[in-house]
Amino acid sequence: MEKNKIWHKVLSDKDELKEGRVMTVTAGHKGICLTHFEGEICALDNKCPHQGGPLGEGSIENGFLRCPWHGWDFHPCTGKAPGYDDGVEAYPVKIEGNEVFVGLEEEAPHEATITDLMAETMVNWGINRVFGMVGHSNLGLADALRRQEEKGNLKFIGIRHEGAASFAASAYGKLTGKPAACFAIAGPGATNLFTGLWDAKVDRAPILALTGQVDTQVVGTGNFQELDLVKAFNTVAEFNHRVEPGSRHSELMLLAIKHAILKRDVSHLTFPDDVQTLVANPRARAKTPKGRITPMTITPPQESLDKAIHLLNEAKKPVIIVGHGARFHMDQVIAFAEKMQAPVLTTFKGKGQIADDHPLGCGVLGRSGTPVASWFMNESDLMLVIGASFSKHTGITPKIPTIQIDFDPLALSKFHQVEVPVWGEISVTVELLNQRISSYDNKVDRREEIASRWAIWKAEKNKRLGEDRGKGVSSIAVFDALNQLAPENAVMCVDVGNNAYSFGRYFESKKHSFLMSGYLGSIGFAFPAAMGAWAAVGNERPIIAVAGDGGFCQYLAELTTAVKYEMPIKTIILNNNELGKISKEQRAGEFDVWATSLVNPDFAAYARSCGAFGIQVTKKEELFGAMQQLMEQDGPGLLEIKTDVALL
């Protein structure tokens, strides 16, 4: 029985297609080459049968439609190739008034593909944010993601550069502890993901990378945009596989996600173009986490716990140092600190995990920190280090007895011997310590001393606030205004450079969360990270990106992404027309300052041209009012501040 014919309107005015011309139109999901030949409008399949060339981009020459890719000829109305048996299918056309309709058989219902099952497995495991760019070698997988988005299961954010996609997904993982996905085509799209994937890897953020690939039959032949993506991703991905026709597809996606979550690392799957649209086995099912993942509430060995309790009982002036790894356990850590009356210091990556105005909060330790934190570390008789990596940047001293708690046994005593390494899940371990510490009377109450050291530092900041060389606004003035105007629960996304050092030193944390490129230290992180933060929290929390002019220019075009998706990101750019941190390092190394000057656009005008709010400040007295305007905007906004490179 003949299927029902569906008539699709493909042209509102037949006069748009002139005699002797062709065009591409779409009828349902079908690409059509519409021709006007010898007074008749005709419709052909748009794909040349040889290489799939788009006939609607061809031309009529000497009475024949010529394929634009390799010059094969077809009759413009019948689709027959003169002198050959092949050709393209012709479809019926009707004209009603000036409107042109093409008749096609009713489309068959969609059959679930292997990528449908894999995308469903993703959302079952909570991966419902994807950042990426759709392209010719990932269209089948993109279509599966589209179906999940139409069901309300997933949000796809189309970016302008794949590096921004992986940075955004990395930031999402840092903020939530859960993986998001980044998505790219084969070849250059896939390789553009690398920097953000390395950022996630070295900062222990879970992330899933999905890449297209050329057809299976030409993998390894040097085909256009073909490179061995499994081999290329070997250095960065903990889990790294190519999807094959015979793969156990849902299980493969499940394993990729488990590795990302449990290893807090990069998982990568690459999909050959022809595999993406293979029809799934009707008996195959998407996978869920039920019964497939273990709780991570690991109790520490009793021997380690006993040693830690002994040192904590003996100590009179202990301090607690928390790193980024403790960010989801701070309620337990702060409760323990209050019981011990112990000052709490953070690494730069851990900034904001305790508020600076908490009676025990001492701010950031290290190069991006305050004299308050370093004072209390050096005055302590025991350090309890939780979820921190002992990086050189932080400067945790090896000279004071140390208890280290971490979920990763390889992180314990990584750089030098500590007195008590404790392997365990942080919340569980701290709760056990809290229950078993017995000596509190010997602890020195440090709260008055903490308040005194903060007063000394704030007096120093006030002195610096008065500095003005007439060459732009000082960094401390920027962060003084931000201290007053940033919502106390904002997610703060920090770039790399002098702006980051000043941010760590001068911005006073309340209930903020901070995102930064920690171990990789990649310039350009802040704005893509803000997009990742928005994907995680939506409009529930304000999002502020702070960047230098060098960093923001790395992903300048992503401002259009923020406008497209109505992301209410507030961006503050410290513009000194220089890679100031590099100039500073050149001077410190006794090199000549060279190749660090920058030519910048008018960032505020650029923001306005993208459809965002944009305002520029050149003088300190303009700063507060302009920043207030920025914070009051509903949508994306940008404040450009002309700053003095020397006033950090």
Q: What is the predicted pLDDT for the residue at 10?
A: 96
Q: Is the pLDDT of residue 218 over 80?
A: no
Question: What's the average model confidence in pLDDT over 220-233?
Answer: 87
Q: What is the predicted pLDDT for the residue at 3?
A: 60
* Exposure string over 55-70, b if 16+ CB within 10 A, otherwise e: bbebebeeebbbbbee
Q: Is the pLDDT of residue 1 over 60?
A: no
Q: What is the predicted pLDDT for the residue at 217?
A: 75
DSSP classification of residue 54: B
pLDDT per position as a tens digit, 319-357:
999 999 999 999 999 999 999 999 999 999 999 999 999
Block residue for tokens 């488990």: 258
CATH 1.20.210.10 fits 5-105, yes or no: no
How far is CA 162 from each of CA 197, 392, 617, rounded to the nearest angstrom?
Answer: 11, 31, 32
**What band does 619 get if pLDDT is binned at 50, 70 and 90?**
very high
DSSP classification of residue 247: S
Q: How many CA atoms lie within 13 A of 495 on its CB side?
A: 27
CATH 3.40.50.970 fits 466-642, yes or no: yes
Question: What's the average model confidence in pLDDT over 587-604?
Answer: 95
Q: Is the pLDDT of residue 2 over 80?
A: no
pLDDT per position as a tens digit, 412-460:
999 899 999 999 999 999 999 999 998 888 999 999 999 999 999 999 9
Q: What is the predicted pLDDT for the residue at 23?
A: 97
Q: ∠450-451-454 over CA atoms, to 5°?
A: 85
**What band does 98 get if pLDDT is binned at 50, 70 and 90?**
very high
Q: What value does the CA radius of gyration of the chain take, rounded to a whole number of Å?
A: 30
Q: What is the predicted pLDDT for the residue at 216?
A: 79
Say what percent of the chain tops pLDDT 90: 89
Block residue for tokens 């220019």: 553
Question: What's the average model confidence in pLDDT over 635-647?
Answer: 95
CA distance linking residue 110 with residue 118, whole number of Å: 16
Question: What's the average model confidence in pLDDT over 379-395?
Answer: 92
- Tell me if domain 5-105 and domain 114-272 are identical in fold: no
CA distance linking residue 512 with residue 620, whole number of Å: 25
DSSP classification of residue 118: H
CATH top-level class of 302-448: alpha beta
Q: Where are the beta strands (DSSP E) in 173-299?
A: 181-184, 207-213, 239-242, 266-272
Q: What is the predicted pLDDT for the residue at 648?
A: 84
CATH number of 114-272: 3.40.50.970
pLDDT per position as a tens digit, 557-567:
999 999 999 99
Instruction: Provide the residue type at 137 as one letter.
Output: S
CA distance linking residue 294 with residue 292, whole number of Å: 7
Q: Residue 622 region, left (φ>0) first, then alpha (ψ -120 to 50), else beta?
A: alpha
CA distance linking residue 277 with residue 500, whole number of Å: 46
For the chain, what are the domain ranges? 5-105, 114-272, 302-448, 466-642
Instruction: Give the global pTM.
Output: 0.94
Q: What is the predicted pLDDT for the residue at 85?
A: 81
Q: Is the pLDDT of residue 169 over 60?
A: yes
